[in-house]
Structure 1
């Protein structure tokens, strides 16, 4: 039985559309702009062949959905997962549009990926799959048009292959000007110091700022994390440095608990040779995955897939704060229950936006031919995300509304303003 659910009755697209329509109604969004934002600009579906290690050929399906570019080039991750489909990509692309707008970045939103489980393929096969996908995308991506980044089951190596493949299609004089076609690259290949930790740092920072607004610190706060990949690990790393205590973790293979505290770095070292799996960790005991969300804690961090907290399990949650490390981990029906129970939810478009903010700085670094040190990068991300947090917090208090509603109002209003000022091409 999988600990992390891969299918639910309600789709992520249903959720994002309900959230959008609720916000559009509340701000009386211009009806013409509402029509534009309710659909995607482009939906690209690709079928491409790749030769496997055994000499046979397998045909893969890849997606890239570009939702809106009113504020700038499309921006968003690529994930490798069996559940990738066009509807999920549409939902995730829309969330990226709101996320980049809320963060005040000169980007629009996109998302995509390949419908595979990367654990089923060798490194060589994954390289060929990635390069062939990049080649198939062709001019649908580009440093001033659509800039992919890592997401679920993709990483800096994936981005290095993509960048190299894309640049190889350009003339020798143009190659250096296309390095920023993707972000999240290795530091030695034009990547940004600290980009790998930027999403997790943002999750940690928004939690810290929320408690600070309540006059509290993170010292002694108990937290649980669903998903112990890049985001889950770095969030846990920074929280425990502030004195918070990790008491339970769940991934697709196991759910573990230790009420006295789980050693974050030890768990990370345990998971590395096991392709990220936490199963078999001796510093905690396994529990029934159905009980995970009901673990006693102050903070719950869903940092895995979408639609994990629903009407079926939201009533179990004991946390005071939920920080959405993943995109869309709570469906709209589950959220209603959580809000009725007085639980504060830091929404994904705010909570995990440290990643796209870091991507923006990497893009700028490549574009301008600069190199920034780790401490400088983290200060930039901290400053930018803190500014966004305080804007959302101000609207929460002023309007006496929940955090997601406030974040959506700010994000969509910014896009509406851009359309009104520029007009719509006839």
Structure 2
């Protein structure tokens, strides 16, 4: 059962969709964006809602709801992750798809923006059930995804294994002579299934790189800097891993299970080993003490990395934040009102569409390798990623200075101007 909605304009609601629309409108006002192009960019191109049955391990059938929102493809195929989480709904997918459009445009990639997922708590299902859910979702999406149309990737609670299931299911629907041409239908795959070296750490490495560039611009050293991380999944772990190698000190971590703190430092490697043996939870780790979740963002530190879900930094906690830098590893972790408070207090914010863009850049590298029949080394991938992100970071910094705006607004301006130029040059059919 599939519901398809095309270019349906709705008023933004409070939450992530409201945030992204306000961020877009702010930048569009500053550059006096062409009103007709503005009309195009403020709505999605296509939205898919699929309801599909899956047989559980006990023989019972459960109905799931999945989403895929395609915001804009003026610059190239739609690109964006799939997340498995109870908060997934159509508005969340719309917001995240729009952020992907700005993110890929800012990074100078030949991609548009999309996002989606399934509304579920993956911890409540077995591995076999998750495989059947994923394969059935892929089948339900059908030809609405494709290597030159819409290329999914991992996101919250999905991983390389999830992408391998999607790849296999999608290829199974094609004729034998077409299957080899579809390897790049998803990115973030396992290495053996056509994945790229370095893709697993690309997002977190990118977060680390933007913090490193920030430190360079401030003529400061990361050694001894205290940082806290919300979310200890793929993004949070790798960001912490590379920061620790620079001499920075991880002092607190928060995940879905709780929060821990040690002002003398938490070993990133030891904590990751513990979570792998403890069903993903950080609680009970001997190298730190438990703390109240509500006190996490108010901890004394230099750098705060929200790398979990959206709308985590709000007006309720923004005034308590002591960090001088917020590096947004997650999408939309800071709401608009909270950002106003933080900027007034002199807190620097590296915006999500810049800070966590290493993931989609890494995905682009994987897509290129699959498309061209190439295999790059880890060193090549990380070197290319650093060059790409350095270019983006300092371009945003320069735009912020010239326009006398904050980093997020500068990033949006660059992204929107690239799209505006595309529409002006190509025209609008008919």
Q: CA deviation at 1:113?
A: 0.1
Asked if 1:387 is matched to 2:396, the reply is no
Give the alignment partner of residue 140 of structure 1, picking from 141, 144, 153: 144
Residue 276 in structure 1 maps to residue 280 in structure 2: yes
> 2:333 aligns to what SS in structure 1?
coil
Question: How big is each residue's C-alpha offset from its partner over 1:213-268, in whole Å with a ceiling of 9 and x where there is no partner?
Answer: 11112111100000000000000000000000000111111111000000110000
Equivalent residue of 2:176, what SS? coil
Aligned partner of 2:4 in structure 1 is none
> How far apart, in 1, do the equivalents of 2:280 and 2:424 lie?
47
Q: Which residue of 2 aligns with 1:37?
A: 41
Q: 1:69, 1:107 within 8 Å by CA — same for their partners in 2?
A: yes
For residue 4 of structure 1, what is the aligned residue in structure 2? none
Alignment partners' CA distance in 1, 2:191 and 2:389: 22
Q: Does 1:86 align with 2:113?
A: no
**Residue in 2 that maps onto 1:322:** 326
Question: In structure 2, what is the equivalent of residue 60 of structure 1?
Answer: 64
Matched residue count:
418
1:97 to 81, 97, 101: 101
Query: Is contact 1:10-1:331 (8 Å) kept?
Result: no
The farther-off stretch of 62-71 and 270-279 is 270-279
Question: Secondary structure of the residue that 2:349 maps to in structure 1?
Answer: strand
Residues 345-369 of structure 1: CA distance to partner in whole angstroms, max 9, x if unpaired?
A: 0000000000000000000000001
Q: CA RMSD in A?
A: 0.7
8 A contact 1:64–1:110 mirrored in 2:
yes
Query: What does the per-residue CA deviation read over 1:142-168, in whole Å, with 9 as the maximum and x for residues that have no partner?
Result: 000000000000000000000010011
Bigger mean CA deviation after superposition, 352-361 or 247-256: 247-256
Instruction: Measure, in 2, the Cα distance between the counterparts of 1:352 and 1:307.
Output: 16
Which runs of 5 or more structure 2 residues have no equivalent in the other structure? 1-12
What corresponds to 2:378 in structure 1?
Answer: 374
- Distance (Å, rounded) in 1 between the aligned partners of 2:340 and 2:185: 39
Distance in structure 2 (CA, Å) of the matches to 1:151 and 1:68: 19
Which one of 304, 307, 311 corresponds to residue 311 of structure 2?
307
Structure 1 spans left out of the alignment, 5+ residues: 1-8
Helix, strand or coil at the partner of 1:174: helix
Equivalence for 1:404 = 408
Partner of 1:5: none
Superposed displacement of residue 10, structure 1: 3.5
Shift of 1:86: 0.2
Deviation at residue 277 of structure 1 after TM alignment: 1.1
Partner of 1:336: 340
Q: How far apart, in 1, do the equivalents of 2:43 and 2:224 lie? A: 45
Q: 1: distance between equivalents of 2:279 and 2:315? A: 31
TM score, norm. by length of structure 1: 0.97
Deviations 1:148-202 (CA, angstroms, capped at 9, x unpaired)? 0000000000000000100110011000000100000000100000000000000
Match of 2:217 in 1: 213
Deviation at 1:68, TM superposition (A): 0.3
Q: Secondary structure at the match of 1:173?
A: helix
Aligned equivalent of 1:152 = 156
| Mapped partners of 2:258, 2:25: distance in 1 | 37
**Following TM superposition, by how much is the alpha carbon of 1:35 offset from its aligned partner in structure 2, in angstroms?**
0.3
Structure 1 position 115 matched with structure 2 position 119: yes
Distance in 2 between residues matched to 1:379 and 1:386, nearest whole Å: 11
In the TM superposition, residue 343 of structure 1 has moved relative to its aligned partner by 0.3
1:188 to 188, 192, 196: 192
**Given the alignment of the two structures, is residue 232 of structure 1 paired with residue 236 of structure 2, yes or no?**
yes
Contact 1:309 1:329 in 2 (8 A): yes
- In the alignment, the residues of structure 2 paired with residue 371 and residue 289 of structure 1 have an alpha-carbon distance, to the nearest angstrom, of 43
Q: Which residue of 1 aligns with 2:9?
A: none
**1:222 alignment counterpart:** 226
Distance 2:118 2:364 in 1: 24
CA–CA distance in structure 2, aligned partners of residues 385 and 421 of structure 1: 27
